């Protein structure tokens, strides 16, 4: 039986002409991403929200206190659509975690801010987040952490083009 063709052609990604190590790395990344999503879902459940709502809350929490953020900016930061943010923030508003304010100089736009309840929920999950992240990334030292940040950013930047190629 003929072995399947290599899944990559770049020499830097082949070991002695084989893509076996590359495929193993992709499998590891895929499993890591899946487990990371499961972890985020578990943390979200602790807060009484969904994983996408958790992502919205965390993005808002990392802003300076009481600093509003526009729907478009939030969508861009989370790499999702504006309608998605509108839908999720409506749900978060109904739960009392965020409030929406019209932008003073453009009443068509809305800013989103954490409410006191939203801030308290984020504070309440903080110890668990720290414990989870400390375990999840326990294998990283300063050098590995810096390298991983760079590599993750670079890989993320190539995703859109790769997706376009996959969709053709």
Q: What is the CATH number of the domain that holds 68?
A: 1.10.10.10
Judge whether 166 lies within some domain: no
The reported pLDDT for the residue numbered 91 is 98
Q: Is beta strand 69-70 parallel, antiparallel or unpaired with respect to 98-103? A: unpaired
The reported pLDDT for the residue numbered 29 is 97
Structure tokens at 52: 């996408």
Q: Which residues contact 41 (CB under 8 A, 6 or more apart)?
A: 50, 51, 54
The reported pLDDT for the residue numbered 103 is 82
Q: Is 66 exposed, middle or buried (CB count within 10 Å of its CB: 0-12, 13-18, 19+)?
A: exposed
Give the total residue count for the chain. 168
Judge whether 1 lies within some domain: no
* DSSP states along 83-97: HHHHHHHHHHHHHTS
Judge whether 146 lies within some domain: no
89 within 8 A of 49, measured Cβ to Cβ: no
Quickly state the pLDDT bin for 108 (edges 50, 70, 90): confident
The reported pLDDT for the residue numbered 124 is 97
The reported pLDDT for the residue numbered 63 is 86
Structure tokens at 87: 């839908």
Q: Is residue 157 helix, strand or coil?
A: helix
Domain count for the chain, please give it.
Answer: 1
Quickly state the pLDDT bin for 66 (edges 50, 70, 90): low
Judge whether 5 lies within some domain: no
103 within 8 A of 110, measured Cβ to Cβ: yes
Q: Domain span at residue 98?
A: 11-136
Judge whether 161 lies within some domain: no
Q: Which of 46-50, 142-146, 156-160 has the lowest mean pLDDT?
A: 156-160
Judge whether 114 lies within some domain: yes
Assess whether pLDDT exceeds 90 at residue 123.
Answer: yes
Judge whether 120 lies within some domain: yes
Assess whether pLDDT exceeds 90 at residue 3.
Answer: no
Average pLDDT of the segment spanning 79-84 = 95
Judge whether 143 lies within some domain: no
Average pLDDT of the segment spanning 69-83 = 94
Instruction: Quote the CA–CA distance of 47 and 51 in Å, as a whole number.
Output: 10
The reported pLDDT for the residue numbered 102 is 86
Q: Is residue 49 helix, strand or coil?
A: coil
pTM for the predicted model, two decimal places: 0.86
């Amino acid at each position: 039986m003929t072995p399947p063709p290599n899944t990559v052609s770049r020499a830097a990604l082949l070991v002695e002409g084989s893509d076996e190590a590359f495929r193993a790395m992709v499998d590891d990344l895929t499993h890591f991403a899946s487990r990371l999503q499961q972890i985020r879902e578990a943390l979200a459940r602790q807060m009484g929200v969904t994983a996408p709502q958790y992502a919205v809350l965390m993005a808002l929490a990392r802003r300076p206190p009481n600093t509003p953020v526009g729907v478009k900016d939030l969508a861009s930061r989370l790499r999702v659509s504006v309608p998605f943010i509108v839908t999720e923030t409506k749900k978060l508003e109904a739960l009392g975690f965020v409030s929406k304010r019209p932008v003073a100089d453009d009443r068509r736009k809305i800013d989103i801010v954490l409410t006191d309840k939203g801030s308290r929920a984020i504070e309440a999950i903080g110890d668990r987040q720290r414990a989870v992240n400390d375990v999840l990334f326990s294998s990283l030292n300063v050098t590995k952490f810096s390298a991983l940040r760079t590599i993750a950013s670079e890989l993320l930047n190539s995703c859109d083009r790769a997706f376009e190629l996959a969709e053709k």
